[in-house]
């Protein structure tokens, strides 16, 4: 039982929450770059979907940590809930954009929807990046930019007799 509690304590440490937040920001930014390749060149759809899965996992894990520690981190609850809502919308709109671009299926409203879905997908990606960056900046503002290193004991210059 102590082993499980120790792992849970490790997972809720601010350092791990900061790391998850930074990884989410980097992942979302990489996703924007991969989305550009998909949009303009039609390549790397596999990488775009793979990173989407990784971001999904990151948002779920980070969200669960923030929700569990909402009493400790109240300033993170609103941006985290925003990120989770945007993530869900992004998945749904991304699926619609994928169908519109890569399948012969007819979308309701035709060409207007084929244009609206990718544009909305890009706008939501930008909003997700802002929400994730807000979480990370609030974490770093509260906990500091780096962990304080323990100071070594300095040797005394006095001689005792």
Read off the pLDDT band of 144 (50, 70, 90): confident
- 74 Cβ partners below 8 Å, 6+ apart? none
| Tens of pLDDT, residues 32-65 | 998 888 878 877 788 888 999 999 999 999 999 8
Cβ 83 vs Cβ 135: under 8 Å: yes
Tell me what percent of the residues of the chain surpass a pLDDT of 90.
41
Cα–Cα dist 82/75, whole Å: 12
Q: Is the pLDDT of residue 136 over 80?
A: yes
Read off the pLDDT band of 81 (50, 70, 90): very high
Cα–Cα dist 34/54, whole Å: 13
- 83 Cβ partners below 8 Å, 6+ apart? 24, 59, 63, 128, 131, 132, 135
Sign of the Cα pseudo-torsion (10, 65, 86, 139, in order) = negative
């Amino acid at each position: 039982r102590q082993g499980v509690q120790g792992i849970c304590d490790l997972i809720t440490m601010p350092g791990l929450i900061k790391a998850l937040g930074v990884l989410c920001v980097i992942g979302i930014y990489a996703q924007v770059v991969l989305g550009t390749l998909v949009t303009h060149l039609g390549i790397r759809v596999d990488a775009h979907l793979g990173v989407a899965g990784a971001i999904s996992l990151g948002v779920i894990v980070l969200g669960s940590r923030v929700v569990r520690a909402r009493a400790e981190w109240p300033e993170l609850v609103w941006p985290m809930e925003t990120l989770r809502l945007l993530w869900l919308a992004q998945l749904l709109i991304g699926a619609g954009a994928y169908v519109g671009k890569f399948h012969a299926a007819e979308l309701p409203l035709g060409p207007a929807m084929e244009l609206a879905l990718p544009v909305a997908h890009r706008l939501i990606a930008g909003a997700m990046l802002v929400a994730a960056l807000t979480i990370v900046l609030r974490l770093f503002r509260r906990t500091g930019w780096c962990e304080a290193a323990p100071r070594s004991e300095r040797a005394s210059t006095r001689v005792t007799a």
